[in-house]
Chains A and B, each alone.
Chain A
C-alpha cells in the first residue's frame, strides 16, 4: 500500500489561509468518505483534527475545514496562527479494510 501524497511543506503568514492536499487512489481516498487529518507537534503524539472528510471533533477550532474531490482530499486552515505550526497527516480507510497515511506536510507560520 503506497502512502498518500502530500506536499512536503506549506507556509503562510499569520491570518492567511493555507490548503494541504492529500492524493490517493480509487482504492482509498476515492473509495469512501473516510479521510481523516491529524496534527502532530514535535515530540508529541498525533491529534485528530478532522474525520470523515469534513467533520471536526469537539474542541477543534472551526478555522480548520476539510473537503474531498475524487481521489484528492484537502485540509484548509484559515486565519493562520502560530499554534498551527506543526506536521499534518491525512489518513484514509481502504478497500482492503486497512488504513494508509499520507507522506506528511510541515506547516510553517512565517
Chain B
C-alpha cells in the first residue's frame, strides 16, 4: 500500500517563500507522477501542477506559472513544492497526490495528509 507523508504546518509572512515536502513509500517512486493541489479555507480544490518523477518534467497551472516550483529527490523518494512571493490569498492546505499509473493515467490515487500554510503579518 502506498503511503504519502507531507511536512508539517507552516506560518509565513507576506513576501516570503514556503517549501512543502511529500514523501512516498510502498511503490517504486520513479514510476509515479506527483500532483500538487491546494484548498483555501472553505473553498474548492485547486490544481497547481505536477512532476513526472522519472524524468523530472513539470507542468504548472497558468495561475501559478512563475511563482511555483515543483522538484523531486529520487534518492529520498520525496517531492517538493515551493511557492514564492506569498500573500494572504495563499493561505490554504496544500496537498500532494500520487499518480501511480497502476490503473492508467490522469487520476490521483493516493493523497498526503495535507500541509496547512498560513500567511500572516
Contact = CB atoms under 8 A, between A and B. Distances in A.
B103 interface: yes
B44 A104 contact: yes
Contact of B111 (A47, A52, A57, A91): A47
How many of chain A's residues touch chain B, expressed as a range?
20 to 34
Most buried by A among B44, B46, B111, B114: B44
Contact of B59 (A46, A47, A48, A98): A98
B108 A36 contact: yes
B107 A51 contact: yes
Contacts of B107: 34, 36, 48, 51-52, 91
A104 B39 CA distance: 11
A36 to B, nearest CB: 4
A51 B44 contact: no
B111 A89 contact: no
Given A1-B62, A45-B95, A34 B44 contact: no
B103 A55 contact: yes
Interface residues of B, number: 25
Contacts of A104: 44-45
Interface in B66-121: 95, 97, 103-114
A38 B107 CA distance: 10
A17 interface: no
B106 A93 contact: yes
Contact of A101 (B47, B106, B109): B47
Contact of A91 (B59, B108, B112, B113): B108
Given A46-B111, A99-B35, 5 more contacts: A38-B45, A46-B95, A52-B104, A57-B103, A89-B45
22 contacts: A1-B61, A1-B62, A1-B63, A36-B107, A38-B45, A38-B108, A48-B107, A51-B106, A52-B106, A55-B103, A57-B109, A91-B45, A91-B108, A93-B105, A97-B59, A98-B47, A98-B62, A99-B47, A100-B47, A101-B46, A101-B47, A104-B44
